Amino acid sequence: MKINIILKDCHIQLHQSSPKCKNYHIFPLRIVDDEKTDHFDIILFNDGEKSHYVYISNFSRLIRSQSILHGHAVYFCKRCFTSFDQQNLKYKLNGQLALEQHRLICGSHKPILPKMPDVGTTLQFKSWRNANRHPFTIYSDFEALLFKTDEIKGTNSKIIQTHKPMSYGFVVKVSDDVPLDLVNAFNIPTSPVIHRGNIGEQDVAKHFVEVSRKIEQLLKTNVPITMSDDDTRRYNANTHCNFCEQSFNSIEKQPKFVPCFFHNLSSYDAHFIVTELEYDAKTTDVIPNTEEKYISFSKYISNTFSIRFIDTIKFMASSLSSFANNLMTTGYDKFRETAKHFSTVDMSLVTRKGVYPYEYTDIWEKLGVDTLPEKEDFYSTLTEAEINDEEYEHAKNVWNHFGCQTLGEYSDLYLKIRGWC
């Protein structure tokens, strides 16, 4: 059955409802591109062999029951039934203005009725607080001595190396929003901190906890905000969050943890520290991947604040070396944190992957060697490969440029560059 347009200044728009549709939902059947002065909406009911046309006196009232649940005024697009209410949004139009903007796009396409899932049956992002930058972030790393051993384990296994921490380092990255005077008042280190020597692993754990406790105390400190007249006007005019675009509420609060990032934490560094965090009665929470590998773990500093250890390798699709090479395509401007701790003439040496003779340093005395080990001392039984001439030349350039006096000093520099700079 067809509807013929018989008047020049009159348009008839046809919609249809069928018992096959859920709850007799209505959908567009024949739509006009532009509404004339005299515009009529009619609906076709079809039940088997019988059909019946009915005039729609109030289109919005008819359609709203299948689209929305609230009772406020709503504007509908008759081509796709998209609705626009009067809710105030910071970055979007609403009501009639939103509908007019929508028609500019919708009118250039074939009329459709999108079938959306029922309310409550889909997931959507709600944790907007996790999208905020944390005011404090700790980046850390361990280096170890590889003590040789011939211990037999089981019938088919032999332990050839035992890894013992020889040094660790960390740096606290502070957001620009945090006053530097306040950071200094709580003695929070913002320059790289490196400890080398036969230090107990429990002492390392306590060091991380102590720094985290200072951060917690700072976050509890209320400091008056100095605002200009323009800042005050903009503050008073704001009514919506610029993240979720919803009205302000009291849900968002100061973070209850400080993240501490290690690269390859799950497979390596975690074994040096995770058990030592149980030195006191405060809780340690672990998210395990296997019995020996952990996705993340947290140590509570107080009842409401913790330090959360996270593996950066979980967020990376390739190696650190590849990322560094990709950043180098535009010069050194991407290495902002590195530039804070090294001069311009240092940058070519510290913005690429370094090399270190891990298996050569198998006793503490090796750290006192006053020359760079030979190229063959950089051999790795793990990869069954030596470093190439270009990599060894780079190691010599680093040693000479920074005036390293011992292998221990070279290892400190290697840790600083590799760990977080």
pLDDT for the residue 136: 95
Dist CA 31 CA 287 (whole Å): 56
Dist CA 313 CA 196 (whole Å): 25
Number of H helices, E strands in the chain: 11, 13
Written as six digits, the tokens of 193 are 């901190």
CB 349 within 8 A of CB 401: yes
Dist CA 341 CA 75 (whole Å): 58
Q: What own/partner pairs with CB < 8 Å and gap ≥ 24 does 143-147 have? A: 143/167, 143/168, 143/356, 143/411, 143/414, 143/415, 144/272, 144/358, 145/361, 145/362, 145/363, 145/364, 146/358, 146/359, 146/361, 146/362, 147/362, 147/363
Written as six digits, the tokens of 133 are 């930058």
Q: Which amino acid is at 55?
A: Y
Nearest Cα neighbor of 351 from 417, 420, 262, 261 is 417
Dist CA 58 CA 63 (whole Å): 9
Strand-strand pairing, 193-196 and 157-174: antiparallel
pLDDT for the residue 394: 94
Residue 154 region by backbone torsions, left for phi larger than 0, else alpha for psi between -120 and 50, else beta: left
CB 326 within 8 A of CB 320: no
Beta strands in 272-357 (DSSP E): 284-288, 294-300, 306-311
pLDDT for the residue 5: 47
pLDDT for the residue 4: 46
Integer-rounded Cα Rg, in Å, for the chain is 33
Q: Which amino acid is at 417?
A: I
> C-alpha angle 169/170/172, rounded to 5°?
165
**What is the DSSP secondary structure assignment for residue 342, as one 8-state letter?**
S
Query: pTM for the complete prediction?
Result: 0.69
Runs of H (alpha helix) within 127-192 = 180-185
pLDDT for the residue 6: 46
Written as six digits, the tokens of 10 are 């009159």
Give 10-residue mean pLDDT values along the chain (421 residues).
Answer: 50 57 63 70 74 77 67 76 76 81 81 71 80 90 90 82 91 89 92 88 89 94 85 87 76 83 89 86 87 89 93 79 69 81 89 90 94 94 89 95 96 86 53
pLDDT for the residue 36: 66
CB 332 within 8 A of CB 349: no
pLDDT for the residue 203: 87
CA 103 to chain centre: 36
The answer for residues whose C-beta is within 8 angstroms of residue 107's C-beta and 6 or more apart is: 33, 79
